[in-house]
Amino acid sequence: MLGFKRLLIGRPLTSEQLDHERLNKKTALAVLSSDAISSVAYATDQILFVVGGAMGLSALTYVFPISAVIVGLLVLVGLSYQQTIHAYPGGGGSYTVAKENLGDRPGLVAAAALLTDYILTVAVSVSSGVAAITSAYPSLVPHAVAIGVAAILLLTVVNLRGVRESGIVFSLPTYAFIAMMLLLLGLGLWKVYNGVVFVPATAPLDVDPATARHGMNPAGFALMFLLLRGFAEGCSAMTGTEAISNGIMAFKAPAQKNAARTLAWMVSILAVFFLGVSFLAQHLGVMPTTAETVLSQLGHKVLGNGGLYFALQYSTFAILVLAANTAFADFPRLVGILAKDKYMPSQLAARGDRLAFSNGIIGLALVAALLVWLFKGDTNSLVPLYAVGVFVCFTLSQAGMVVHWFKTKGPGWRWRAALNGVGAIATGVVSVIQVATKFLEGAWIIVLLIPLLIMMLQSINNHYRRFKIDVAFRGRSPILPHSHTVVVPISAINKATSGALVYATAISRNVRAIHVEIEPLNTPNLMDDWDRWDIGFELEILVSPYRSIVRPLVEYVAEIQRQSPGELVTVVTPEVVPRHWWEHLLHNKTALYIRTAFLFKPNVVVVAVPYLVGHDYELAAKGPRWVATRL
């Protein structure tokens, strides 16, 4: 097992090697920006699915203006997070900023929203990547869920190997996608400006029958609501913008400067790609279908049907799947911060063999795989849940930064506070639009889930608070025994039993050997063997009419403590350890059940004395004679 783990994960790294695991700007762009950059593969689709569903090809008139508004909002949020990076170099992003400036409750809202966003990032990115492949190979559609789960498993293994190693692995696909997008947009713009005519999509979306029947497109309030819905769906392009501010500590020194520069690169690339795809979709008459994405159709029109088209699709699949790596990089780090603040189980703050937050990585993979299975890998079903939480985070982060500037009053604090204030208002309005326009399509799930997550986080924190009070040492021992009795359960006379009795007589003179009678026919033979052994004390028989070993033992110990209040009882269990790990499956776990049964009993200590099969212990071999002499 250890050899397989080393092959899969790699050799353990020492804590001193943590600095060597940090990322340079180029690698960090691949690890922390793939989520944002990859959103160009589905953001335009989501606008057109909403608007085109009611307006048909007329929706193409609105796709570029909506995209331009989203890009303006993206730049505003990017500038805000530039300030957050310099103000909070320790990372933590929206949670840290909101908690320190707005209070614990807003901080928990931001944390819950981020947790849902990261989980959905994995599910949506992987599902979109699978959609890119099934667009090129329709025969794979029935296997979409299996491909998605396999992709999540691959991401999990690579991330368990460590941040730096995962960054190296993921850099090539990210930069391959960037290169293919530059080729697509450059060649596409050249074709548009050299007389390529408007060509309608081969399979445009069906127009809403209610509007088609009257031969007219929505107008007035209906049109405004429709455009707001398209805007809300297109805002999925902004997910992942906060990832770099959350992961500052993953950068090499100077971490703040490198993080800020990488954020600027990410925003610039995303803005150009998103506007470029929407512009080409409008001018080349491309509408998404359930069978083929906008990017795939643009690839056919601009690059043809040869190798370049398939290179675009493969690179799109790769970056969409790897976009989930942004969540794999930041989700474990966020839950680690929450664990240190006692809002998550403390195990999530521990680093694994490769200095990654292994428990958080595995937990994220399990939940995301469950979502892919529940929603059958359908991106259109998952996206309505997406981006709601992230705009709540944007709003709380920027509102927190406004308070921060008023507190610190550093150089230029007024214009900085004004910038964050405008950003908070803008993203707050978008949050309302997100919930209002996508509520019935699935946003209600997030609206319900965030309060439930907050309740869970608070419950965990309350537990740790009570636990700290309960275990606080005030100068008195929690165990003040009058005397000490040792109980040794005996199932048979063997080397393991001998070792347990040796240990028992070493810690107390009051040793009681007991046998819980499951099979009455076997008891006479055991008693004969015990009498021949003759080690100096009796073997007590406990009758168990219901064939339970644990219950009679628990009642026996309770009776000892009733007869002698304050008695400390140690239960010493013999435990046979087979040679090979798989041989454990062939033996019962009685010792484990006994330890579990006494876990919540006061003044009871359970000690397992292992006997390793195949090892000759001098003490175990001479145990019976030594015990007799000792007594």
Any idea which of 44-58, 210-224, 526-540 has the lowest mean pLDDT? Answer: 210-224
The token pair that represents 409 in the structure block? 């009053």
Within this chain, do residues 454 and 513 fall inside the same structural domain, yes or no? Answer: no
> Which residues are CB-neighbours of 309 under 8 A, at least 6 positions away?
136, 299, 300, 303
Question: Is pLDDT at 185 greater than 90 in this prediction?
Answer: yes
Decide if 477 is inside a domain: no
Which amino acid is residue 571, in one-letter code?
Answer: V
> What pLDDT was estimated at residue 219?
64
Dihedral, 48, 49, 54, 60 alpha carbons, nearest 10: 10
Give the pLDDT confidence score for residue 621 in this predicted structure. 43
Name residue 572's beta-bridge partners: 607
Burial readout 203-225 (b: 16 or more C-beta within 10 A, e: otherwise)? ebbebbeebeeeeebbeeeeeee
340/389 same-domain check: yes
Does pLDDT of 214 surpass 70?
no
**Three-state DSSP state, 599:** coil
pLDDT at 489: 93
Q: How far, CA to CA in Å, does 388 sit from each of 43, 122, 368, 434?
A: 14, 15, 17, 6
- The residues pairing with 511 across neighbouring beta strands, listed in sequence order, are 486
Instruction: Based on the fold, state whether residues 332 and 452 are members of the same structural domain.
Output: yes
Only one residue has tokens 């021949």, namely 532
Contact 17, 351 (CB under 8 A): no
Q: Residue 29 in contact with residue 265, Cβ under 8 Å?
A: yes
- Residue-number span of the structural domain to which 171 is assigned: 21-465
- Are 341 and 386 in a shared domain? yes
Say how far apart CA 136 and CA 142 lie, in whole Å: 14
- DSSP 3-state of 90: coil
Rounded-to-integer distance, Cα 32 and Cα 230, Å: 27
Q: Is the pLDDT of residue 37 over 70?
A: yes
Range name among 260-274, 435-449, 586-600 with the lowest pLDDT average: 435-449
Q: Does residue 416 share a domain with residue 289?
A: yes
Mean pLDDT within 44-67? 79
- In 3D space, the residue among 425, 380, 363 whose CA is nearest the CA of residue 289 turns out to be 380
Would you call 513 exposed, middle or buried from its count of C-beta atoms within 10 A (0-12, 13-18, 19+)?
buried
- Determine the Cα–Cα distance for residues 181 and 506; give it in Å rounded to an integer: 74
**Percentage of the chain lying above the pLDDT 70 cut:** 83
Q: Classify the C-alpha dihedral 375-379-383-389 as positive or negative.
A: positive
Q: How far apart are CA 210 and CA 480, in angstroms?
A: 80
Burial of 316 by CB count in 10 Å (0-12 exposed, 13-18 middle, 19+ buried)? buried
Give the CATH number for residue 269: 1.20.1740.10
Are 396 and 442 found together in one domain? yes
Identify the pLDDT of residue 293: 81
Joined together, the tokens standing for residue 269 give 């690339």
Q: Which helix (H) or strand (E) holds 330?
A: helix 307-340
Asked whether residue 14 is domain-assigned, the answer is no
Q: Tell me the per-residue pLDDT of 261-302, one tens digit each, with 9 for 90 and over.
A: 989 999 999 999 999 999 998 888 888 877 788 888 899 888
Question: Do 490 and 390 belong together in one domain?
Answer: no
Residues 303, 281: Cα–Cα separation, whole Å: 14
**Please, which pLDDT band fits residue 629 given cuts at 50, 70 and 90?**
very low
Integer Cα distance of 193 and 187 in angstroms? 10
Asked, for residue 557, whether it belongs to a domain, the answer is yes
Q: What are the Cα distances from residue 491, in Å, to 115, 494, 508, 524? A: 50, 9, 21, 13
> Rounded to an integer, what distance in angstroms lies between the CA atom of residue 484 and that of residue 486?
7
Which residue would you say has higher pLDDT here, 210 or 433?
433
Weakest mean pLDDT among 250-254, 292-296, 431-435, 534-538: 250-254
Quote the distance between the C-alpha of residue 49 and its chain's center.
29
Residue 93 sits in the same domain as residue 151: yes
Paired tokens of 381: 């079903």
Residue 496 inside a domain? The answer is: yes
On whether both 263 and 120 belong to a single domain, the answer is yes
From 430, 465, 500, give the residue that closes a domain.
Answer: 465
Q: At what angle do helices 104-136 and 358-374 cross, to 10 degrees?
A: 60
Give residue 522's Cα distance to chain centre.
52
For position 201, what pLDDT does the model report? 43
Residue 447: CB atoms within 10 Å: 13
Q: Mean pLDDT: which of 50-59, 253-262, 579-588 is highest?
A: 253-262
pLDDT category at 169 given cuts 50, 70, 90 is: low
Q: Are residues 233 and 300 in the same domain?
A: yes
User: Are 173 and 230 part of one and the same domain?
Assistant: yes
Please name the residue that has the structure tokens 């048979």: 492
Q: How would residue 166 be classed by pLDDT, with cut points 50, 70 and 90?
A: low
- The answer to whether 329 and 247 are in contact (CB under 8 A) is yes
Q: In what order do the strands lie in the sheet with 511-517?
A: 539-543, 511-517, 484-489, 568-577, 604-612
* 465, 495, 529 - which closes a domain: 465
Final residue of a structural domain among 433, 465, 497: 465
One domain for residues 314 and 372: yes
Contacts for 83 with CB less than 8 Å, ≥ 6 apart: 401, 416, 419, 420
pLDDT tens per residue across span 73-91: 889 888 888 888 888 877 6
Residue 196 exposed, middle or buried by CB count within 10 Å (0-12, 13-18, 19+): middle
Burial class (CB in 10 A: 0-12, 13-18, 19+), 346: exposed
**Does 405 map to a domain?**
yes
Question: In Å, how far are 68, 83, 167, 353 from 249, measured between CA atoms?
Answer: 32, 16, 15, 19
Question: What is the model's pLDDT at position 53?
Answer: 66
Give the tens place of pLDDT for each residue, 222-255. Answer: 778 788 878 877 887 787 787 787 777 777 778 8
Contact between 321 and 137 under an 8 Å Cβ cutoff? The reply is no
* Beta bridge partner(s), residue 517: 543
Q: Which comes out higher in pLDDT, residue 613 or 357?
A: 613
pLDDT averaged over every residue in the chain? 80
Residue 472 is assigned to a structural domain of this protein: no
Helices (H), 137-239: 144-160, 163-192, 209-212, 221-234
The CATH number linked to 495 is 3.40.50.620
How far is it, in rounded angstroms, from Cα 141 to Cα 371? 18
Domains in the chain, number: 2
Nearest CA-CA partner of 623 in 505, 513, 540, 507: 505
Measured CA to CA, the distance from residue 220 to residue 127 in angstroms comes to: 35
